[in-house]
Amino acid sequence: MRKYSVAVVGATGAVGNEMIRILEERNFPVGELTLLASERSMGKELTFKGKTYPVDVLDENSFEGVEIGLFSAGGSISERFAPIAADAGCVVVDNTSAFRMDPDVPLVVPEVNPEDIGMYQTKGIIANPNCSTIQMVVALKPIHDMARIKRIVVSTYQAVSGTGKAAIEELVEQTKALLNLEEPEVTVYPHRIAFNCLPHIDVFLDNGYTKEEMKMVNETRKIMNDPSITVTATTVRVPVFYSHSESVNIETERKVTADEVREILSDAPGVTVVDNPDNCEYPLASDGAGKDDTFVGRIREDESIPNGINMWIVSDNIRKGAALNTIQIAEILIKEYLQ
Ligand code: NAP
Ligand code: 3JM
């Protein structure tokens, strides 16, 4: 089988590390592997399939001969280096928000809109959606196809790993400090995250929403290819390490019962239904962490409107929300377009 020269940009980060692990786990046909990060990582080495690789400092010449670039080093790095990589002939799968709403860049969740990948040829870039959007559309697409979703009301409970390795460390340190009756240091978020909930993810915009909330609105419409879906979101950071949870309320055009939703989601790709309240069985962040699927439970009819459904959706934000979705995109890319 043909192998591909792959670069991981942001290889030392929470997402980049998981990408390397998933490339190995899924036996992606990696030939050359280039690991890139900032000057801070100079001299570091990482392991892939038992072999150690040096971490190189990202620069304009990093993409010579690279066929696939998996980017997760922040929006400004992607803005600057994704076009440079694409000009060098590398297809970029970008994990940041930099290109998601660009009409010439496909925004892809393989279970929902794999056919959009073909559009990558315009700019040489494919965007990976925001973690909170991905798990929501994986669960909602089959319902949309069955009953047409008109409106979505979502509140998220997002893990600190979504902010990167510094935030994971901050939750550990603050928890230790508070349990030792010491004053916790606050550096990553505007407030303490340990034993707290922060209704603030990414920056505030003029409309009073955060950028994270508006990502869920705009990305959902683009991925579902339906600008008529209305979405309103409240995104909240909670003191959980891995897996985002979401309370999702939908209003559909056609009436669907909770049983119908359970049935259609039982057969949906990438979805596992965990919905047995009598046994206290519902999706938990602690069960979702480290898994590939999106878990859906607490499925019930919204009794306040004629055609409404409530549900609880959980998925590992670093895997399906970022690294796994990116590599699933790359798998389709090589199978369908880069043979
Ligand atoms: P992280 O743990 O803080 O890691 C950041 C990575 O970017 C590190 O490898 C870091 O290298 C590298 N980096 C930072 N500045 C750089 C520079 N000037 N040049 C080269 N490399 C640089 O963050 P993370 O959680 O992995 O997330 C990284 C990015 O991925 C985020 O900013 C976001 O845009 C995206 N992301 C997307 C999703 C999603 O929902 N799809 C989820 C999480 C993150 P050093 O170790 O050398 O500093
Ligand atoms: C998740 O460069 C940055 O400011 C990155 C901010 C960020 C993003 C983003 O906007 O790309 C941190 C964590 C995301 C994301 O997936 O949207």
pLDDT averaged over the chain? 98
pTM above 0.75, yes or no: yes
> Contact 104/123 with Cβ under 8 angstroms?
yes
Q: Tokens representing 134?
A: 């991905």
Q: What is the pLDDT of residues 27-56, one digit of tens each?
A: 999 999 999 999 999 999 999 999 999 999
Q: Tokens representing 168?
A: 């994971």
CA of residue 95 to ligand 1 center, whole Å: 9
Q: Is the CB of 96 under 6 A from ligand 2?
A: yes
CA of residue 212 to ligand 1 center, whole Å: 16
Ligand 2, residues 93, 99, 109, 202: which to mutate, most atoms within 8 A of Cβ? 202
Identify which ligand lies nearest to the alpha carbon of 215.
2
CA distance 246 to 334: 32
Residue nearest to atom 16 of ligand 1 (CA): 38
Q: What is the pLDDT of residues 145-184, one digit of tens each?
A: 999 999 999 999 999 999 999 999 999 999 999 999 999 9
Catalytic residue among 90, 131, 144, 280: 131
Tokens 């979405």: give the residue.
231
CA distance 190 to 208: 17
**Closest ligand 2 atom to 163 CA:** 13
CA of residue 38 to ligand 1 center, whole Å: 10
For residue 1, what pLDDT is reported?
85
Residues with CB under 6 A from ligand 1: 10-16, 37-38, 40-41, 58, 72-75, 77, 95-96, 128, 130-131, 162, 164-166, 321-322
CA of residue 179 to ligand 2 center, whole Å: 31
For residue 144, what pLDDT is reported?
98
323: exposed, middle or buried (Cβ count in 10 Å: 0-12, 13-18, 19+): buried
The alpha carbon of 55 is separated from its chain's Cα centroid by a whole number of angstroms, namely 24
For residue 147, what pLDDT is reported?
98
Classify strands 294-301 and 308-315 as parallel, antiparallel or unpaired: antiparallel
CA distance 319 to 19: 8
Identify which ligand lies nearest to the alpha carbon of 108.
1
243: exposed, middle or buried (Cβ count in 10 Å: 0-12, 13-18, 19+): buried
Classify strands 308-315 and 244-252 as parallel, antiparallel or unpaired: antiparallel
Q: pLDDT class for 339, splitting at 50, 70, 90? A: confident
- Average pLDDT value for residue range 204-225: 98
Q: pLDDT class for 112, splitting at 50, 70, 90? A: very high
- Verify whether residue 244 is a known catalytic residue: yes
Classify strands 149-158 and 244-252 as parallel, antiparallel or unpaired: antiparallel
Q: What is the pLDDT of residues 232-290, one digit of tens each?
A: 999 999 999 999 999 999 999 999 999 999 999 999 999 999 999 999 999 999 999 99
For residue 30, what pLDDT is reported?
98
Q: Is the CB of 162 under 6 A from ligand 2?
A: yes
Percentage above 90 pLDDT, the chain: 99
Q: What is residue 62's DSSP assignment?
A: T
CA of residue 31 to ligand 2 center, whole Å: 29
**Closest ligand 2 atom to 97 CA:** 11
Q: Is the CB of 41 under 6 A from ligand 2?
A: no
**Closest ligand 1 atom to 168 CA:** 2
Q: Is the CB of 166 under 6 A from ligand 2?
A: no
For residue 327, what pLDDT is reported?
98
